[in-house]
Amino acid sequence: MKKLVISSGAGISAESGISTFRDAGGLWEKYPVMEVASHDGFLKNPALIHKFYNERRKQLVTCKPNFAHIGLHQLEERFDVRVITQNIDDLHERAGSKNVLHLHGELMKVRSLKHEDRVYTLTSDNLETSVDTRDEYGDPVRPHIVFFQEDVPNFTKATELAKEADIFVVIGTSLNVYPAASLLYYVKPGTPVYYIDPRPAPIPEGTAVHVLPMKATEGVQWLIDNLKE
- Chain-centroid distance of CA 131 in Å reads 26
Length of the chain equals 229
Is position 71 an interface residue for ligand APR (rule: CB under 6 A)? no
Q: What's the rounded Cα separation, in Å, for the pair 223 and 79?
A: 11
Residue 100 near residue 77 (C-beta atoms within 8 A)? no
Q: Which of 199, 202, 204, 225 binds ligand APR (CB under 6 A)?
A: 199
Residue closer to ligand APR by CB (options 110, 171) is 171
10 lies in the binding site for ligand APR (CB under 6 A): yes
The verdict on 21 binding ligand APR (CB under 6 A) reads: yes
Q: How many CB atoms lie within 10 A of CB 205?
A: 5
Among 4, 15, 129, 168, binds ligand APR (CB under 6 A): 15
Is the Cβ of residue 51 or residue 139 nearer to ligand APR in the bound state? 51
Please report whether residue 89 would count as binding ligand APR according to CB under 6 A: no
Rule CB under 6 A: is residue 129 a binding residue for ligand APR? no
Q: Beta strands 105-112 and 119-121: pairing type?
A: antiparallel
Name the catalytic one among 92, 104, 115, 210. 104
Q: Where are the alpha helices (DSSP H) in the chain?
A: 11-14, 27-30, 33-36, 39-44, 46-60, 67-74, 91-94, 155-164, 216-226
**Order of strands across the sheet that contains 119-121:** 119-121, 105-112, 141-145
Out of 4, 5, 7, 11, the residue judged to bind ligand APR by CB under 6 A: 11
Render 134-149 in DSSP notation, one character per residue: B-TTS-BEEEEE--BT
To the query of whether residue 104 is one of the catalytic residues in this protein, the response is: yes
CA angle, corner 57, sides to 177 and 32, nearest 5? Answer: 45
Residue nearest to ligand APR (CB): 11
CB of 11 to ligand APR, least distance (A): 2
Site string for ligand APR, 138-177 (x = CB under 6 A): ----------------------------------xxx-xx
CA atoms within 13 A on the CB side of 136: 3
| C-alpha span between 128 and 126 (Å, rounded) | 6
Min dist. Cβ of residue 201 to ligand APR (A): 6
The piece of 4-12, 90-98, 123-131, 186-194 that touches ligand APR (CB under 6 A) is 4-12
CB of 19 to ligand APR, least distance (A): 8
Active site positions, annotated: 104
Where does this chain bind ligand APR (CB under 6 A)? 9-11, 14-15, 20-23, 26, 86, 104, 172-174, 176-177, 197-199, 201, 215-216
